[in-house]
């Protein structure tokens, strides 16, 4: 069975300790710790979590200590993020959200996992990100909540990671 490669944005780590998002977040991390998901984390996430509460930083460190892929910010990811901003998918103020998508796109993540409904888990923005990706010769992205990803694994779709 192929492990799902899931890019984890910053909100997923904080969601683990947030009453509103903890159930879905904890199910996702349980799937990671059971070896069903390989988390992808970027330098952008590390920078954004540097000043997070201690328990969030500890969860991030636990994730890094496991079987995860670390993604560096590259000139290519900066360029693709810039294309998203230039196309108006997000404004410069939210360029880090564009950098999350660019990093995940270039790493060919199976899915981007986020609780950011305004800029990421948003059908209009997903279409816009994918429009830029196609124009740039990149693959399209799938962006889902932790709960949706965890539920898809529980429903017996773990062997269909590419089809989320």
Q: Tens of pLDDT along 102-144?
A: 999 999 999 999 999 999 999 999 999 999 999 999 999 999 9
**Percentage of residues of the chain with pLDDT beyond 70:** 93
User: Would you say residue 147 lies in a domain?
Assistant: yes
User: Would you say residue 139 lies in a domain?
Assistant: yes
CA-based end-to-end distance of the chain: 15
Q: What distance in Å separates the CA atoms of residue 93 and residue 109, rounded to the nearest whole number?
A: 25
What value does the mean pLDDT take over residues 153-161?
Answer: 57
What value does the mean pLDDT take over residues 39-43?
Answer: 96
Given a contact cutoff of 8 angstroms between Cβ atoms, the answer to whether 44 and 99 are in contact is: yes
User: Would you say residue 162 lies in a domain?
Assistant: no
Q: Is 72 a residue whose pLDDT tops 80?
A: yes
Q: Is 52 a residue whose pLDDT tops 70?
A: yes
Q: What distance in Å separates the CA atoms of residue 53 and residue 61, rounded to the nearest whole number?
A: 13
| Residue 161: per-residue pLDDT | 44
- Residue 49: CB atoms within 10 A of its CB come to 18
User: Would you say residue 32 lies in a domain?
Assistant: yes
Q: How many domains does the chain have?
A: 1
Tell me the backbone φ, ψ of residue 53, rounded to 5 degrees: -55, 155
Q: Is 160 a residue whose pLDDT tops 50?
A: no
CATH number of the domain at 133, please: 3.40.50.1010
User: Would you say residue 163 lies in a domain?
Assistant: no
- Domain residues for the domain of 93 are 4-156
pTM score, whole prediction? 0.91
DSSP 77-145: HHHHHHHHHHTTSS-GGGHHHHHHHHHHHHTT-SEEE---TTTTS-HHHHHHHHHHHHHTTPPP--EE-
């Amino acid at each position: 069975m192929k492990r799902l490669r899931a890019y984890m944005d910053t909100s997923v780590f904080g969601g683990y300790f947030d009453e509103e998002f903890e159930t879905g977040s904890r199910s996702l991390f349980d799937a990671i710790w059971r070896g069903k998901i390989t988390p992808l984390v970027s330098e952008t996430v590390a920078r954004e979590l540097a000043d997070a509460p201690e328990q969030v930083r500890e969860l991030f460190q636990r994730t890094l200590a496991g079987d995860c892929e670390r993604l560096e910010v590259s000139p290519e990811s900066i360029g693709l993020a810039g294309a998203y901003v230039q196309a108006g998918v997000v404004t410069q103020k939210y360029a880090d959200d564009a950098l999350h998508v660019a990093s995940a796109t270039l790493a060919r993540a199976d899915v981007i996992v986020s609780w950011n409904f305004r800029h990421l888990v948003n059908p209009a923005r997903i279409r816009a990100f994918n429009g830029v990706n196609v124009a740039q010769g990149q693959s399209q992205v799938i962006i889902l909540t932790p709960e949706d990803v965890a539920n898809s694994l529980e429903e017996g779709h773990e062997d269909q990671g590419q089809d989320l």
